[in-house]
Chain A
Amino acid sequence: MSWILPPGASTFAGDIDFLYYVILVITGIAFVVVEVGLLVFAIKYRARPGRKAQYIEGSIKAEIIWTAVPAVTLVIIGLMSGGVWNHIKGRNSIPPNAIPYEVHVKQFEWNFTYRGPDGQLGTSDDFIVRNQLHIPVNRPVELQLIAEDVIHSFFVPAFRVKQDAVPGMDIRVWFEATKVGEYEIACAELCGLGHYRMRARVFVHSAEDYQQWLSDRAAAADEE
């Protein structure tokens, strides 16, 4: 059992994990205060013969304190979250140098469309790789999620990225991987009987390896 987040591998991980731990500490304190309080009261004020409870109807001062303290704390958490949220999901948050991909999402496959050698999406030299996303490290990428049937959700736990792909909506998600390696992509929105197996992988390459992979694939696609 562990309340530690698994290692992150994108630029979002730092911000999100920090917020998570801040909330963990704050809620942890509240948790201990309440649970210990309950336990102490339960023991200390348990019924004993000959004793009568003290007739107390309430206290305005106490009410003000325990209204204000949570309110202020929560608003602070909200404000801290707001900035991070805008950075990740805000309408204009996608960096201009992000590499674009199209992801055609269907029951139960992820079809990643790559730019061909011409560096443009939507041209005839684009190629599709099923269930494999190859990206360069330390470079933002932008995925346009195109759901073809039902709602799916693009989830890379290691990148702290999750975004629903909704049919009929223009949905874009971006991230920047920071560690070379291989990570799993999951579907996080119930999408039918094969939902549990809607798994794909993302391969984060060094810049050179990525170029190498691209040209290999483009050559292979050319042959066909």
Chain B
Amino acid sequence: MATSAVSLEPAAHVEAHELSFLRKYIFSTDHKIIGIQFLLMSFVFLLFGGLMAMMIRWQLGFPERPLPAGQLLPETMAPGGILLPEFYNSLVTMHGTIMVFFAIMPLLVGVFGNYLIPLKLGAPDMAFPRLNMASFWIAFSAGILMMAGFFVEGGHAAAGWTAYAPLSADPEWTGVSGGQQIWLLSIAILGLASIMGALNYITTVVNLRAPGMTWFRMPLSIWALFVTAILVLLAIPILSGAAIMLFFDQTIGTHFFDWTDGGQVILWQHLFWYFGHPEVYILILPAMGMVSDIIANGSRKPVFGYHSMVFALISIAFLGWVVWGHHMFQSGMNPTLGMTFMISTMIIAVPSAIKVFNWMGTMWRGNIRFHVPMLHSVGFVAMFVIGGLSGIFMASTPVDIYIHDTYFIVAHIHYVLFGGSLFAIFAAVTYWYPKMFGRMMNSTVGKVHFWLTFLFYNMTFFPMHDLGIAGHMRRIYDPSQYEFLQPLAPLNRFITVSALLLFTVQILFAANFIMSWFKGKKAGENPWEANGLEWTVASPPPHGNFAKVPTVYRGPYEYSSPLVEEDFLMQTRKLASDVDPAAAGP
């Protein structure tokens, strides 16, 4: 409704008069500024999430030693620097929550959805720029609220990022009341922001494409963001509904998940994972899309099997709705359902496999330029494969009996979310950095950062598979309590040291990001010699993006085309053989 008030030409007139600082950089309706706002916000949350991970790792590696500088924490968290189990549980909960909802999701969807969709489609801005701004500020408020939870009495939510009822439903079981409520409110508010964003992306992709930008000329990054937006749109309201029910259980005494008065405990899990599995794909599909763009650019070759890549994306998005039960094999759910979910889960692995082979096919017979984004993209493929393959173990229900809720799962999720999504984010940030800020990030530092991250990342997460195979449970505050886990202490220490190193080398990235903003080499319009529409405009692009509406003549991956001398052929370049889309008729 509010949207009906939005002007049709979002950008055209606005440029005419000078905007105040506040309107230009804070309450901006420019999709590029909003994308950068999301970027900065998510990096801060990435740092918070990482710090929490370090505390968790310290406790697991050195359970008998106080946390360095832990004395600075209040007594209710870490008396004398010794983490309390309840605080550890809060850390585990919040590490997951922050990383999933406030780091990776906004990084992929918020940052690149905003930044790339209008630019790559030849649109002046989003369909609803004011809604877009509201979306950011609502997400930002949700983030502040989420962090505020650490300061309430009873501590922050401690029932895991999955917030399984009844642990999350009744303060008696955790001692947490306000924290859990804040968690639920924040998630519901963030959900609102996500839905607003998704609605914007979908409308923009459908309606604001430049002439000639047909569906199958859209870059895979845009396809992926589009499909992701649909998933966000449909999955998030499920979580919001569930969160509201749980919030009412906590506050006004409803009984949705209260088994003592007609409610059902397992209903929460069904609702959560019915949202949660599409969410998993929300966290990886945009990464896959952007990596496809970058690998084609790095390999100087068209994406191998563009159409099958698109269909793989779409089929993952469809199948993503019928596999949620594989998170619940051991939950007491009907075992026959377990069989169905196992088969659907096995099937969903196929499109992922297709994508991996197509990326390899793209590199095959290419002329690969290993610029930093390309390094991270190849790293993404290499790591995502491990995450995908380890998923097959837990898809097999009998094997899952053993590895469910062990570190094998932790390894798996980090291979997908860190090795996958975060490597793709590093790739995408370095790739589009020159467009965003007009300067190149330092390539040498970038390469050192990549190799160190790649090394320490694998040292951190690969051994977690072995922990899982030895039966090491997740979310365990002190593994030394179990005799069968005691021999794993050295491995845990090794992982902790690796994780600390991994965290430390991210300073390189942060420094490179900040320094390049001011001192980086000036980037031209098209530093990577890429084909997309965003590379036809200045870096950074002006308000309104395109001086005149661009016309698209071909797909986004015409690298090394025999038609031209150079090894790239921009989407907007008109060759003698090209026909104007307007002239070609509808």
Contacts and interface: CB of A to CB of B under 8 A. Distances in A.
**A and B: direct contact (Cβ < 8 Å)?**
yes
Nearest to B304: A58
Given A41-B360, A45-B368, A169-B266, A190 B160 contact: yes
Interface residues of B, number: 99
Contacts, number: 301
A208 B465 CA distance: 40
Interface stretch (B238-246, B397-405, B499-507): B397-405
Nearest to B344: A78
A34 B167 contact: no
Q: Provide the main secondary structure of the chain B interface.
A: helix
A41 B406 contact: no
Contacts of B347: 71, 74-75
A161 B405 CA distance: 12
Given A23-B399, A75-B346, A81-B397, A164 B330 contact: yes
Interface in A60-93: 62-63, 66-67, 70-71, 74-75, 77-78, 80-82, 84-86, 88-91
Contacts of B479: 196
A195 B477 contact: yes
Given A53-B567, A85-B339, A85-B342, A171 B332 contact: yes
Contacts of A66: 353-354, 357
B398 A84 contact: yes
A150 B173 contact: yes
B367 A52 contact: yes
Interface string A169-202: 1010000000000001011111111111101000
B262 to A, nearest CB: 10
A55 B85 contact: no
B486 to A, nearest CB: 11
Contacts of A42: 363, 368, 370, 378
A193 B475 contact: no
Interface string A99-126: 0000000010000000000000000000
Given A58-B308, A62-B357, A189-B164, A48 B363 contact: no
19 contacts: A3-B469, A16-B398, A23-B392, A23-B399, A27-B390, A31-B385, A41-B363, A42-B378, A53-B560, A77-B392, A89-B338, A150-B173, A151-B166, A157-B484, A167-B166, A189-B164, A192-B89, A192-B158, A192-B174
- Please name the 8 residue pairs, one residue from A and one from B, whose CB atoms are nearest each other, closest first: A168-B259, A157-B471, A58-B305, A196-B477, A27-B389, A74-B346, A53-B367, A84-B398
Interface of B: 84-86, 89, 92, 158-160, 164, 166-167, 173-175, 259-260, 264-266, 299-302, 304-308, 330-332, 334-336, 338-339, 342-343, 346-347, 349-350, 353-354, 356-358, 360-361, 363-370, 378, 381-382, 385-386, 389-390, 392-393, 395-399, 401-402, 404-406, 463, 465-466, 469-471, 473-479, 481-484, 491, 559-562, 567
Interface of A: 1-6, 12, 15-16, 19-20, 23-24, 26-27, 30-31, 34-35, 37-38, 41-42, 45-48, 51-59, 62-63, 66-67, 70-71, 74-75, 77-78, 80-82, 84-86, 88-91, 107, 149-151, 153, 155, 157-158, 160-169, 171, 184, 186-197, 199
